[in-house]
Structure 1
Amino acid sequence: MMGEEVMSSFKQTCGVLDLPLNEEPNTGSMRGLTVFPKTIEQADNFKEDAGRAYYWLVSKRPNLDSYLESFVENMIWHPEWKNGDIGRTTSNVIFVGANGMRSTIIANREVILSAGSLRSPLLLERSVVGNPSTNFTSLGGYAAYFNVEGAFGQDLAAFNASIASSLKHYTERTANVSGVIDSVVTEKLFRMQCDLIFKNKIPISDFIVSPAGTSPITIEYWGLLPFSCGSIHINSSNASAPANINPNYFMLDYDMY
């Protein structure tokens, strides 16, 4: 179906499943069929990236300094927050530049941590935030969004009851595996998640449909609100060493329905 019109057929299929067209899923209500954003600029035939989208447009600003090919090791907390005078804020950022030298940036106002899902936890742990069991001093197309009603239909009530009765078990398993968040906090988070799924009925699944050159069509599935919780931790005093990552995929049966 590469090069052919796909939207009308997919829209008809979603209509049979009582899934409406959602022209703008970013207004707070995602449920429905929508066009998934792509990163290809078809007119000029190039792939959009963060540099083009965010950096090059403002790169000439005199108050913007960029440190390319640099590696952040950790953050230093403001010395006065321990005395209760100020909130927990970062005062310095330590990084290794492209020349291999370690340097420090002093923050006049704030530090925004935006290192992604794999690097952010490591930076926090190296800045003495996170796992209390660790001795840190020794370490240095097209998309269709279904809610639970659309996914389970007439089986919704039974599914709701099954998950509600499993929350205690989910809590105990997750708390034992993570060793970071205790069972009281974990259960509170899980009950909030249940309310989002079964009361607010926000989308829990995402189907991405794309035409393919070697087959009629490809369909990707994403579970949006899994209960299984993974972990990312540092395991070396070397800041550039790979992280210890355990995704814990499908640890709990909810994520396999």
Structure 2
Amino acid sequence: MSTMTLAARDSATMLGRQLKHLRRYPSLTIMLIAQPVLLLLLFVYVFGGTMGAGLPGGDGRADYLDYISPAILVMTVASVALSTAIHIAKDATEGIIDRFRTLPIAKASVLTGHVLGALVQTAVALVVVLGVALLLGYRPDAGPGGWLGALGLLLLMTVAFTWLCLLLGLAAGSVETASNTPMFLVLLPFLSSGFVPTDTMPAGLAWVAENQPFTPMIDTLRACLAGTSPGDAAGWAVSWCVLITVASYAGARRLFTAARAG
């Protein structure tokens, strides 16, 4: 077999391992899905009437549901990515990774298996959260191109955030630390255009919101699902995803290789 074929085979094996973990320990997946669902319900039914009326052209809770649903989908991607940091830290601290290093397998497949498992877990979570939003009355106006763009962006974000959490999990040194260090991925959407337009924020906070990764990501997803053009936000969103992926992949591989050499 070629090196690429062996790597693909080993990655598929590691993916199977991750899927078995998801089936045997569903509580973490349920918790990760429950968090964005509860946020959606909270903001729509508790704050939605007032905040929807404050949107440009808004007229209440239904408009706020349309506005906030893309942000909740992005938070779902970030929320699931957090579990990757926990899983890789658990593998590292329990010695499983050291055992894998003694096997004649493609060493990169250990990390790739975590990424592929996160893609499956994220897909399930997104279907559930989007389903809840649809039950609440969310009706995207996206055409085929809009849905394709939305799915492509969600895939890019999943890969970017998963590699970032792999990096953080490998650097953490313990499962407890790994569960805390990626928390900014859940907090940053609150300081973006996800819940209110940035022009309603104080000047300093608005500058932060407009120049952090989540704002163009959410704006692009919102435009794709609404069937409108995302404009320059799409380029920024893709650029952020690529930058995070490349930097995190390089860092994760370096930490993994350094630990293997040690």
Q: TM-score range by the shorter chain?
A: under 0.3
Q: Which has the higher strand share?
A: 1
Largest Rg, 1 or 2: 1
**TM-score of the superposition, structure 1-length normalised?**
0.23
With a CA cutoff of 8 Å and minimum separation of 6, indicate the structure with the bigger relative contact order: 2
